[in-house]
Structure 1
Amino acid sequence: MKERVSHDLVGKWLKGWSLSRQLPIPVEYRSGFKVEVGDEKQKARYVFSELNDDFIELSGQIEEPWIFLKVCATPGEVKKLIPEKWEIQPQGYMMKCSGPMKSPGRKLCEGYHLEYEQYNSTTLIKILAENGDLASSGYVVSLDGLAVYDRIVTDEKHRRKGLGAFLMLELEKIVRSKGISNHLLVATEEGKALYESIGWEVYSPYTSIVITQQI
Protein backbone atom coordinates (compact mmCIF):
# COMPACT_ATOMS: atom_id res chain seq x y z
CA MET A 1 0.00 0.00 0.00
CA LYS A 2 1.46 3.35 -1.02
CA GLU A 3 2.08 6.06 1.53
CA ARG A 4 0.55 9.47 1.12
CA VAL A 5 3.23 11.86 -0.08
CA SER A 6 3.10 15.26 1.58
CA HIS A 7 2.85 18.55 -0.29
CA ASP A 8 5.96 19.81 1.52
CA LEU A 9 8.05 16.79 0.53
CA VAL A 10 7.12 17.18 -3.14
CA GLY A 11 8.08 20.85 -2.87
CA LYS A 12 11.49 19.98 -1.42
CA TRP A 13 12.12 17.33 -4.06
CA LEU A 14 11.11 19.68 -6.88
CA LYS A 15 13.30 22.44 -5.49
CA GLY A 16 16.25 20.04 -5.47
CA TRP A 17 15.42 18.95 -9.04
CA SER A 18 15.35 22.60 -10.14
CA LEU A 19 18.60 23.50 -8.38
CA SER A 20 20.41 20.58 -9.97
CA ARG A 21 19.31 21.80 -13.41
CA GLN A 22 19.85 25.48 -12.59
CA LEU A 23 16.21 26.31 -13.27
CA PRO A 24 13.89 28.78 -11.51
CA ILE A 25 12.80 27.70 -8.04
CA PRO A 26 9.29 26.13 -7.99
CA VAL A 27 6.35 28.33 -7.09
CA GLU A 28 3.18 27.13 -5.42
CA TYR A 29 0.28 26.71 -7.83
CA ARG A 30 -3.08 25.79 -6.29
CA SER A 31 -2.35 22.63 -4.26
CA GLY A 32 0.77 21.81 -6.29
CA PHE A 33 3.87 23.47 -7.70
CA LYS A 34 4.96 24.92 -11.03
CA VAL A 35 8.44 25.18 -12.56
CA GLU A 36 9.19 27.19 -15.70
CA VAL A 37 11.55 24.74 -17.40
CA GLY A 38 11.89 26.60 -20.69
CA ASP A 39 12.87 23.59 -22.80
CA GLU A 40 11.44 22.98 -26.25
CA LYS A 41 10.17 19.56 -25.17
CA GLN A 42 9.27 20.65 -21.62
CA LYS A 43 8.12 24.25 -21.38
CA ALA A 44 6.86 23.92 -17.83
CA ARG A 45 5.88 21.29 -15.30
CA TYR A 46 3.14 21.19 -12.69
CA VAL A 47 3.65 18.69 -9.88
CA PHE A 48 1.06 17.50 -7.37
CA SER A 49 1.42 15.28 -4.32
CA GLU A 50 -1.98 13.70 -4.91
CA LEU A 51 -4.53 13.19 -7.66
CA ASN A 52 -7.10 15.86 -6.80
CA ASP A 53 -9.54 18.35 -8.34
CA ASP A 54 -6.76 20.87 -9.04
CA PHE A 55 -4.84 18.33 -11.14
CA ILE A 56 -7.98 17.19 -12.97
CA GLU A 57 -9.16 20.76 -13.70
CA LEU A 58 -5.72 21.73 -15.00
CA SER A 59 -5.70 18.72 -17.33
CA GLY A 60 -8.92 20.07 -18.85
CA GLN A 61 -7.66 23.66 -19.17
CA ILE A 62 -4.23 23.15 -20.76
CA GLU A 63 -4.18 22.97 -24.56
CA GLU A 64 -0.54 23.86 -25.26
CA PRO A 65 1.88 21.03 -26.07
CA TRP A 66 4.96 20.16 -23.99
CA ILE A 67 3.58 21.26 -20.64
CA PHE A 68 3.85 18.35 -18.23
CA LEU A 69 1.52 17.45 -15.40
CA LYS A 70 3.03 15.13 -12.79
CA VAL A 71 1.44 13.47 -9.79
CA CYS A 72 2.07 10.86 -7.12
CA ALA A 73 -0.43 8.33 -8.47
CA THR A 74 -0.50 5.34 -10.83
CA PRO A 75 -1.03 5.70 -14.61
CA GLY A 76 -4.28 3.74 -14.25
CA GLU A 77 -5.65 6.15 -11.66
CA VAL A 78 -4.70 9.15 -13.80
CA LYS A 79 -5.99 7.79 -17.11
CA LYS A 80 -9.55 7.44 -15.80
CA LEU A 81 -9.78 11.15 -14.93
CA ILE A 82 -8.06 13.10 -17.73
CA PRO A 83 -9.07 14.05 -21.30
CA GLU A 84 -7.84 11.89 -24.19
CA LYS A 85 -5.56 14.68 -25.49
CA TRP A 86 -2.96 13.71 -22.89
CA GLU A 87 -0.26 11.08 -23.41
CA ILE A 88 0.74 9.09 -20.34
CA GLN A 89 4.48 8.65 -20.00
CA PRO A 90 6.25 5.48 -18.77
CA GLN A 91 5.67 4.61 -15.11
CA GLY A 92 7.91 6.42 -12.63
CA TYR A 93 8.54 5.87 -8.92
CA MET A 94 9.23 8.30 -6.11
CA MET A 95 11.75 6.46 -3.95
CA LYS A 96 13.28 7.10 -0.55
CA CYS A 97 16.13 5.81 1.57
CA SER A 98 16.70 6.57 5.25
CA GLY A 99 20.07 5.80 6.74
CA PRO A 100 23.11 4.27 5.05
CA MET A 101 22.75 2.68 1.63
CA LYS A 102 23.83 -0.93 1.21
CA SER A 103 27.42 -1.22 0.01
CA PRO A 104 28.73 -4.79 0.27
CA GLY A 105 32.32 -4.40 -0.90
CA ARG A 106 31.58 -2.10 -3.82
CA LYS A 107 34.71 -0.82 -5.55
CA LEU A 108 35.30 1.22 -8.66
CA CYS A 109 36.20 -0.98 -11.64
CA GLU A 110 39.77 -0.79 -12.83
CA GLY A 111 40.25 1.68 -15.67
CA TYR A 112 37.83 4.32 -14.34
CA HIS A 113 38.28 7.45 -12.25
CA LEU A 114 36.08 10.09 -10.60
CA GLU A 115 35.70 13.81 -11.21
CA TYR A 116 33.70 16.23 -9.05
CA GLU A 117 31.95 19.53 -9.78
CA GLN A 118 30.00 21.76 -7.40
CA TYR A 119 27.58 24.66 -7.84
CA ASN A 120 24.97 26.19 -5.51
CA SER A 121 24.01 23.27 -3.23
CA THR A 122 24.61 20.68 -5.97
CA THR A 123 27.41 18.15 -6.44
CA LEU A 124 27.99 16.41 -9.78
CA ILE A 125 30.11 13.26 -9.87
CA LYS A 126 31.39 11.86 -13.15
CA ILE A 127 32.91 8.42 -13.68
CA LEU A 128 35.28 8.59 -16.64
CA ALA A 129 36.90 5.75 -18.57
CA GLU A 130 40.61 5.74 -19.44
CA ASN A 131 39.85 6.99 -22.96
CA GLY A 132 37.93 9.95 -21.55
CA ASP A 133 34.43 8.57 -22.18
CA LEU A 134 31.80 9.68 -19.69
CA ALA A 135 30.75 6.29 -18.35
CA SER A 136 28.38 7.37 -15.58
CA SER A 137 27.26 10.57 -13.88
CA GLY A 138 24.82 11.84 -11.30
CA TYR A 139 23.83 14.85 -9.24
CA VAL A 140 22.87 15.30 -5.60
CA VAL A 141 21.40 18.42 -4.01
CA SER A 142 21.50 19.03 -0.25
CA LEU A 143 18.66 21.11 1.14
CA ASP A 144 16.66 21.34 4.36
CA GLY A 145 17.98 18.04 5.74
CA LEU A 146 17.15 16.16 2.54
CA ALA A 147 19.34 14.81 -0.27
CA VAL A 148 17.73 14.92 -3.73
CA TYR A 149 19.36 12.76 -6.41
CA ASP A 150 18.94 13.58 -10.09
CA ARG A 151 20.03 12.41 -13.55
CA ILE A 152 21.75 9.19 -12.47
CA VAL A 153 22.91 7.82 -15.82
CA THR A 154 25.29 5.07 -16.96
CA ASP A 155 26.23 4.86 -20.62
CA GLU A 156 25.06 1.64 -22.26
CA LYS A 157 28.63 0.65 -23.21
CA HIS A 158 29.70 0.77 -19.55
CA ARG A 159 26.80 -1.02 -17.87
CA ARG A 160 26.89 -4.22 -15.77
CA LYS A 161 30.10 -3.11 -14.06
CA GLY A 162 28.54 -1.75 -10.88
CA LEU A 163 29.22 1.86 -11.85
CA GLY A 164 25.70 3.09 -11.07
CA ALA A 165 25.73 1.66 -7.54
CA PHE A 166 29.27 2.94 -6.91
CA LEU A 167 28.21 6.40 -8.12
CA MET A 168 25.23 6.48 -5.74
CA LEU A 169 27.44 5.54 -2.80
CA GLU A 170 29.92 8.29 -3.68
CA LEU A 171 27.09 10.82 -3.90
CA GLU A 172 25.86 9.58 -0.52
CA LYS A 173 29.27 10.30 1.02
CA ILE A 174 28.87 13.96 0.04
CA VAL A 175 25.55 14.39 1.84
CA ARG A 176 26.50 12.25 4.84
CA SER A 177 29.43 14.61 5.41
CA LYS A 178 26.77 17.31 5.86
CA GLY A 179 24.82 15.22 8.37
CA ILE A 180 22.02 14.29 5.94
CA SER A 181 20.61 10.75 6.04
CA ASN A 182 17.27 11.14 4.24
CA HIS A 183 17.42 10.56 0.48
CA LEU A 184 14.80 11.07 -2.25
CA LEU A 185 14.62 10.63 -6.02
CA VAL A 186 12.24 9.81 -8.85
CA ALA A 187 13.21 6.67 -10.76
CA THR A 188 12.36 5.06 -14.05
CA GLU A 189 11.37 1.40 -14.18
CA GLU A 190 14.92 0.55 -15.18
CA GLY A 191 16.52 2.65 -12.44
CA LYS A 192 14.21 1.27 -9.74
CA ALA A 193 16.04 -2.09 -9.66
CA LEU A 194 19.41 -0.39 -9.15
CA TYR A 195 18.17 1.71 -6.25
CA GLU A 196 16.40 -1.21 -4.58
CA SER A 197 19.67 -3.19 -4.74
CA ILE A 198 21.33 -0.60 -2.48
CA GLY A 199 18.49 -0.26 0.02
CA TRP A 200 16.01 2.20 -1.46
CA GLU A 201 12.27 1.59 -1.39
CA VAL A 202 9.32 2.87 -3.39
CA TYR A 203 7.54 5.71 -1.63
CA SER A 204 4.85 6.32 -4.25
CA PRO A 205 4.06 5.72 -7.90
CA TYR A 206 4.75 8.81 -9.99
CA THR A 207 2.97 9.54 -13.27
CA SER A 208 3.67 12.16 -15.93
CA ILE A 209 1.34 13.26 -18.73
CA VAL A 210 1.92 15.62 -21.67
CA ILE A 211 0.27 16.87 -24.84
CA THR A 212 2.69 16.40 -27.75
CA GLN A 213 0.70 17.89 -30.65
CA GLN A 214 -1.03 21.23 -31.10
CA ILE A 215 -4.76 20.85 -30.53
Structure 2
Amino acid sequence: MVKIESELIRRWLGGWTVARSLPEAEPVGTGGDGLRSECHQPGREVEVFALRADEEPESLARLAAAVAAARQVTWLTVPTLRPGRVEAVVDAAGLELLRRAEWLMTTDLTEHPRHAPAAPYEREVRTDGPVTVVSLRGPSGEVAARGTMAVVGGDAIADRIETDAAHRRRGLGRAVMSALAEAAVSGGARTGLLIASEEGRHLYSSLGWRREADVVIAGRPAAS
Protein backbone atom coordinates (compact mmCIF):
# COMPACT_ATOMS: atom_id res chain seq x y z
CA MET A 1 0.00 0.00 0.00
CA VAL A 2 1.26 3.46 -0.93
CA LYS A 3 1.32 5.67 2.16
CA ILE A 4 3.31 8.31 3.99
CA GLU A 5 5.05 6.85 7.04
CA SER A 6 3.56 8.12 10.29
CA GLU A 7 7.02 8.30 11.88
CA LEU A 8 8.07 10.95 9.37
CA ILE A 9 5.04 13.03 10.31
CA ARG A 10 5.85 12.60 14.00
CA ARG A 11 9.43 13.71 13.43
CA TRP A 12 8.37 16.83 11.58
CA LEU A 13 5.72 17.69 14.18
CA GLY A 14 8.13 17.16 17.08
CA GLY A 15 10.52 19.71 15.61
CA TRP A 16 7.78 22.12 14.55
CA THR A 17 6.45 22.41 18.10
CA VAL A 18 10.00 23.03 19.36
CA ALA A 19 10.57 25.70 16.69
CA ARG A 20 7.41 27.51 17.79
CA SER A 21 7.84 26.94 21.55
CA LEU A 22 4.57 25.03 21.69
CA PRO A 23 3.66 22.22 24.09
CA GLU A 24 4.40 18.70 22.91
CA ALA A 25 1.58 17.36 20.73
CA GLU A 26 -0.70 14.81 22.36
CA PRO A 27 -2.37 11.70 20.90
CA VAL A 28 -5.92 12.12 19.68
CA GLY A 29 -8.47 9.71 18.27
CA THR A 30 -8.58 5.93 18.43
CA GLY A 31 -5.43 3.82 18.40
CA GLY A 32 -3.03 6.42 17.06
CA ASP A 33 -5.26 8.27 14.60
CA GLY A 34 -3.40 11.53 15.05
CA LEU A 35 -1.75 14.14 17.24
CA ARG A 36 -3.21 17.35 18.65
CA SER A 37 -1.24 20.57 19.08
CA GLU A 38 -2.31 23.65 21.03
CA CYS A 39 -1.31 26.49 18.68
CA HIS A 40 -2.85 29.44 20.56
CA GLN A 41 -3.14 31.57 17.41
CA PRO A 42 -6.12 33.68 16.32
CA GLY A 43 -8.04 31.59 13.83
CA ARG A 44 -5.89 28.57 14.65
CA GLU A 45 -6.29 27.63 18.29
CA VAL A 46 -5.74 23.90 17.80
CA GLU A 47 -4.26 21.81 14.98
CA VAL A 48 -4.85 18.10 14.55
CA PHE A 49 -2.38 16.10 12.46
CA ALA A 50 -3.53 12.86 10.84
CA LEU A 51 -1.04 9.99 11.08
CA ARG A 52 -2.79 7.15 9.24
CA ALA A 53 -4.90 8.80 6.57
CA ASP A 54 -3.51 6.77 3.67
CA GLU A 55 -3.47 3.35 5.31
CA GLU A 56 -6.76 3.70 7.19
CA PRO A 57 -9.30 6.20 5.77
CA GLU A 58 -11.62 5.45 8.70
CA SER A 59 -9.08 7.06 11.05
CA LEU A 60 -9.18 10.24 8.95
CA ALA A 61 -12.99 10.21 9.00
CA ARG A 62 -12.93 10.03 12.80
CA LEU A 63 -10.54 12.96 13.06
CA ALA A 64 -12.53 15.02 10.54
CA ALA A 65 -15.74 14.44 12.50
CA ALA A 66 -14.02 15.50 15.72
CA VAL A 67 -12.68 18.68 14.10
CA ALA A 68 -16.14 19.48 12.71
CA ALA A 69 -17.58 19.20 16.24
CA ALA A 70 -14.78 21.05 18.06
CA ARG A 71 -15.61 24.20 20.01
CA GLN A 72 -12.19 25.75 19.47
CA VAL A 73 -11.03 26.92 16.06
CA THR A 74 -9.32 23.75 14.86
CA TRP A 75 -7.40 22.86 11.73
CA LEU A 76 -7.00 19.34 10.38
CA THR A 77 -3.66 18.80 8.65
CA VAL A 78 -3.21 15.66 6.56
CA PRO A 79 0.10 14.62 4.94
CA THR A 80 -0.90 12.19 2.21
CA LEU A 81 0.00 10.51 -1.06
CA ARG A 82 -3.70 10.38 -1.94
CA PRO A 83 -4.91 13.99 -1.73
CA GLY A 84 -8.04 13.41 -3.80
CA ARG A 85 -9.32 10.77 -1.40
CA VAL A 86 -8.45 12.93 1.61
CA GLU A 87 -10.37 15.86 0.16
CA ALA A 88 -13.43 13.65 -0.32
CA VAL A 89 -13.32 12.49 3.32
CA VAL A 90 -13.00 15.98 4.79
CA ASP A 91 -15.73 17.28 2.50
CA ALA A 92 -18.06 14.51 3.66
CA ALA A 93 -17.42 15.60 7.27
CA GLY A 94 -18.53 19.15 6.46
CA LEU A 95 -15.06 20.69 6.46
CA GLU A 96 -13.67 22.99 3.80
CA LEU A 97 -10.17 23.16 2.40
CA LEU A 98 -8.02 25.91 3.88
CA ARG A 99 -4.83 25.02 2.04
CA ARG A 100 -4.19 22.41 -0.59
CA ALA A 101 -0.92 23.03 -2.36
CA GLU A 102 1.54 22.43 0.49
CA TRP A 103 4.22 19.73 0.50
CA LEU A 104 6.08 17.79 3.17
CA MET A 105 9.72 17.86 2.06
CA THR A 106 13.06 16.44 3.24
CA THR A 107 16.74 16.84 2.38
CA ASP A 108 20.22 15.73 3.37
CA LEU A 109 21.53 18.83 5.11
CA THR A 110 25.16 17.78 4.73
CA GLU A 111 24.77 18.32 0.98
CA HIS A 112 22.78 21.54 1.20
CA PRO A 113 23.97 24.27 -1.21
CA ARG A 114 25.78 27.22 0.34
CA HIS A 115 24.72 30.77 -0.52
CA ALA A 116 25.91 33.98 1.13
CA PRO A 117 23.73 37.11 1.09
CA ALA A 118 24.83 39.74 -1.39
CA ALA A 119 25.76 43.24 -0.23
CA PRO A 120 24.34 45.29 1.38
CA TYR A 121 22.61 42.53 3.38
CA GLU A 122 24.19 41.26 6.57
CA ARG A 123 23.51 37.93 8.24
CA GLU A 124 22.59 37.56 11.90
CA VAL A 125 22.48 34.07 13.46
CA ARG A 126 21.09 33.52 16.96
CA THR A 127 20.92 30.07 18.58
CA ASP A 128 19.02 29.42 21.79
CA GLY A 129 19.15 25.77 22.79
CA PRO A 130 17.84 23.67 19.90
CA VAL A 131 16.43 26.64 17.97
CA THR A 132 18.35 28.82 15.52
CA VAL A 133 16.92 32.01 14.02
CA VAL A 134 18.62 33.55 10.99
CA SER A 135 17.88 37.14 10.01
CA LEU A 136 19.16 39.07 7.01
CA ARG A 137 19.22 42.80 7.63
CA GLY A 138 19.12 45.51 5.01
CA PRO A 139 21.15 48.72 4.90
CA SER A 140 18.86 50.48 7.40
CA GLY A 141 18.90 47.56 9.83
CA GLU A 142 15.49 46.31 8.80
CA VAL A 143 14.82 42.55 8.71
CA ALA A 144 14.62 41.71 5.02
CA ALA A 145 14.36 37.93 5.43
CA ARG A 146 14.33 35.45 8.27
CA GLY A 147 13.81 31.81 9.16
CA THR A 148 13.84 29.37 12.06
CA MET A 149 15.19 25.84 12.41
CA ALA A 150 14.86 23.49 15.38
CA VAL A 151 17.26 20.57 15.86
CA VAL A 152 15.75 17.45 17.44
CA GLY A 153 18.15 14.53 17.43
CA GLY A 154 19.36 14.02 13.87
CA ASP A 155 16.54 16.09 12.38
CA ALA A 156 16.27 19.82 11.77
CA ILE A 157 12.85 21.29 11.08
CA ALA A 158 12.69 24.57 9.15
CA ASP A 159 9.82 26.95 9.87
CA ARG A 160 8.60 30.44 9.04
CA ILE A 161 10.97 31.13 6.16
CA GLU A 162 9.96 34.64 5.10
CA THR A 163 11.25 37.40 2.83
CA ASP A 164 9.81 40.90 3.03
CA ALA A 165 8.02 41.86 -0.19
CA ALA A 166 10.35 44.81 -0.75
CA HIS A 167 13.41 42.53 -0.75
CA ARG A 168 12.29 39.58 -2.85
CA ARG A 169 14.06 38.16 -5.93
CA ARG A 170 17.50 38.88 -4.48
CA GLY A 171 18.43 35.37 -3.35
CA LEU A 172 17.70 36.07 0.30
CA GLY A 173 15.59 32.95 0.78
CA ARG A 174 18.49 30.82 -0.45
CA ALA A 175 20.88 32.63 1.89
CA VAL A 176 18.57 32.08 4.88
CA MET A 177 18.20 28.38 4.13
CA SER A 178 21.95 28.04 3.66
CA ALA A 179 22.69 29.59 7.05
CA LEU A 180 20.04 27.49 8.77
CA ALA A 181 21.38 24.28 7.23
CA GLU A 182 24.93 25.15 8.26
CA ALA A 183 23.86 25.81 11.85
CA ALA A 184 21.79 22.61 11.97
CA VAL A 185 24.66 20.44 10.77
CA SER A 186 26.91 22.05 13.37
CA GLY A 187 24.27 21.07 15.92
CA GLY A 188 24.37 17.42 14.89
CA ALA A 189 21.46 17.27 12.44
CA ARG A 190 21.61 15.50 9.10
CA THR A 191 18.03 15.35 7.82
CA GLY A 192 16.02 18.49 7.10
CA LEU A 193 12.23 18.49 7.19
CA LEU A 194 9.70 21.19 6.40
CA ILE A 195 6.20 21.83 5.10
CA ALA A 196 6.43 24.08 2.07
CA SER A 197 3.77 26.55 1.03
CA GLU A 198 2.86 26.90 -2.63
CA GLU A 199 5.08 30.00 -2.75
CA GLY A 200 8.06 28.26 -1.16
CA ARG A 201 8.10 24.98 -3.08
CA HIS A 202 10.19 26.30 -5.96
CA LEU A 203 12.85 27.67 -3.61
CA TYR A 204 13.20 24.42 -1.67
CA SER A 205 13.16 22.25 -4.79
CA SER A 206 15.94 24.37 -6.29
CA LEU A 207 18.01 23.69 -3.16
CA GLY A 208 17.61 19.92 -3.42
CA TRP A 209 14.68 19.36 -1.06
CA ARG A 210 12.49 16.40 -2.08
CA ARG A 211 8.70 16.12 -1.92
CA GLU A 212 7.57 13.29 0.36
CA ALA A 213 3.82 13.97 0.40
CA ASP A 214 1.08 16.48 -0.31
CA VAL A 215 -0.36 18.25 2.72
CA VAL A 216 -4.11 18.92 2.82
CA ILE A 217 -5.37 21.39 5.46
CA ALA A 218 -9.05 21.76 6.29
CA GLY A 219 -11.30 23.32 8.91
CA ARG A 220 -14.87 24.24 9.62
CA PRO A 221 -16.48 26.72 7.22
CA ALA A 222 -16.08 30.29 8.49
CA ALA A 223 -19.83 30.78 8.80
CA SER A 224 -20.36 27.68 10.98
State TM-score, norm by structure 1: 0.91
**Residues 44 and 66, structure 1, Cα contact 8 Å, conserved in 2:** yes
- Extract structure 1 runs of 4+ deviating beyond 4 A: none
Runs of 5+ consecutive residues of structure 2 not aligned to the other structure: none
**Residues 65 and 211, structure 1, Cα contact 8 Å, conserved in 2:** no
Q: 2:85 aligns with which of 59, 62, 77?
A: 77
User: Secondary structure at 2:63's aligned position in 1?
Assistant: helix
Aligned partner of 1:69: which letter?
L
Equivalent residue, structure 2, for 1:95: 105
Equivalent residue, structure 2, for 1:36: 38
User: Secondary structure at 2:85's aligned position in 1?
Assistant: helix
Bigger relative CO (Cα 8 Å, ≥ 6 apart): 1
State TM-score, norm by structure 2: 0.87
Q: How many residues get paired? A: 212
Distance in 2 (CA, whole Å) between partners of 1:137 and 1:127 is 6
Q: 2:75 aligns with which of 65, 68, 75?
A: 68
Provide the aligned C-alpha RMSD in A. 1.9
**Residues 65 and 213, structure 1, Cα contact 8 Å, conserved in 2:** no
Equivalent residue, structure 2, for 1:49: 51
CA deviation after TM superposition for structure 1 residue 158, in Å: 0.5
Q: Which moved more, 1:68-77 or 1:172-181?
A: 68-77
Q: Which moved more, 1:109-118 or 1:76-85?
A: 76-85
CA deviation after TM superposition for structure 1 residue 147, in Å: 0.7
Runs of 5+ consecutive residues of structure 1 not aligned to the other structure: none
Does 1:113 find its partner at 2:122?
yes
Distance in 2 (CA, whole Å) between partners of 1:134 and 1:212 is 35
CA deviation after TM superposition for structure 1 residue 145, in Å: 0.8
CA deviation after TM superposition for structure 1 residue 9, in Å: 2.0
Distance in 1 (CA, whole Å) between partners of 2:171 and 2:223 is 43
Equivalent residue, structure 1, for 2:141: 132
CA deviation after TM superposition for structure 1 residue 77, in Å: 2.1
Q: 1:187 aligns with which of 193, 196, 207?
A: 196
1:128-158, Cα deviation, whole Å (9 max, x unpaired): 1011221100001000210110001111111
